[in-house]
Amino acid sequence: MNFGINLQSIVPVRKEPLHTSEMTTQLLFGELLRIYQTKDSWHQVRLSWDNYEGWIPENQIQVIDEQEFLRLLNAETPVVMDLVQLIANESQKTMFAIPLGSSLPGLEGQFFTVAGENFHFEGQVSDTSGVEEIEGPQEKKEFYHNLVEDAMMYLHSPYHWGGRSPFGIDCSGLVQMVYRLRQIKLLRDASQQATQGEVVNLLDEAEPGDLAFFDDEEGTINHVGILADRFRVIHASGQVRIDAIDHQGIYDGKLEKYTHKLRLIKRII
């Protein structure tokens, strides 16, 4: 098995090793992966954050050895909190833009190193302490508030199947990335995310930051959003937006109709 890291801004991960195949997710800068096989200049990979699998052109990632992979995997890894920010590759004397949610493994001050290449970053980064540092109800309330505020940063981002950035994002990508900013791991697809956390029995018992899941006529979970409160949900549908929600589902005030049927609510934290 080989290992790799994305040192480009955004890399699409595809279902099959073909240029015309469907994009299923994206790798943002600094995210790690395992390489299982190579076929016709494509790597079959498994992403370290959520174990998602797919195919990436071999020239779009940096192959690293196992020792470097484990060093980066176990390093404190803040993520970028600016919508978009410049990062400098000082070894190559280049600069390029990386989006909100990009990873900065092993960042110390404003510098980190990957496979002998030195990077410099001066933007805003997340706290790496995580949810385990929450001690009392006031800290928990503040954590939820910050989680919802993070979700607001993605407002009006266009919908893009498989997207995970402010330049294009899907419903489960939005949920995964908002929790990623707070160092909480969620799986990639809505149906997978619905298996995590604890069930909240009623919408009236929900808290900001809880996840609302929606299903189709066959009962398949096909949509997810983040509750801003018991009356509003932040979700990606056409674009990242805020809509009204009740026990039936999401109500679009402009269309004057329900667009998504509520299936269940889960509390991750």
For residues 176 and 194, is the Cβ–Cβ distance under 8 A?
no
Who has greater pLDDT, 181 or 138?
Answer: 181
35 inside domain: yes
Please check whether residues 108 and 11 belong to one and the same domain: yes
Indicate if 91 and 147 belong to the same structural domain: no
Q: pTM of the predicted model, to two decimals? A: 0.95
pLDDT per residue over 238-252, tens digit each?
999 999 999 999 999
Cα–Cα distance for residue pair 68/160, rounded to 1 Å: 33
By percentage, how much of the chain surpasses pLDDT 70? 98
pLDDT, position 142 = 87
Give me the active site residues, please.
Answer: 171, 223, 235
**Number of H helices and number of E strands within the chain?**
4, 20
225: amino acid identity, one letter: G
| Domain match, 58 and 186 both | no
Buried b (16+ CB within 10 A) or exposed e, 125-153: bbeeeeeeebeeeeeeeebbeebbebbeb
User: Could you tell me if 75 and 13 lie in one domain?
Assistant: yes
Handedness of CA 46, 48, 49, 50 (dihedral sign): positive
Q: Residues 109, 140: one domain?
A: no
Q: Measured in Å, how far apart are the chain's first and last C-alpha atoms?
A: 34
224 and 260 part of one domain: yes
pLDDT digits (tens, 9 = 90+) for 12-57: 999 998 777 789 999 999 999 999 999 989 999 999 999 999 999 9
Instruction: Report pLDDT digits (tens) over 184-240.
Output: 999 999 999 999 999 999 999 999 999 999 999 999 999 999 999 999 999 999 999
Query: How many structural domains does the chain have?
Result: 2
| 56: containing domain | 2-121
Give the CA distances from residue 121 to residues 82, 166, 170, in Å, rounded to whole numbers and listed in that order.
11, 19, 27
Q: How far, in Å, CA of 239 to CA of 113, rounded?
A: 36
CATH number at residue 231: 3.90.1720.10
Last-in-domain residue among 121, 141, 175? 121
Euclidean distance between CA atoms 173 and 224, whole angstroms = 10
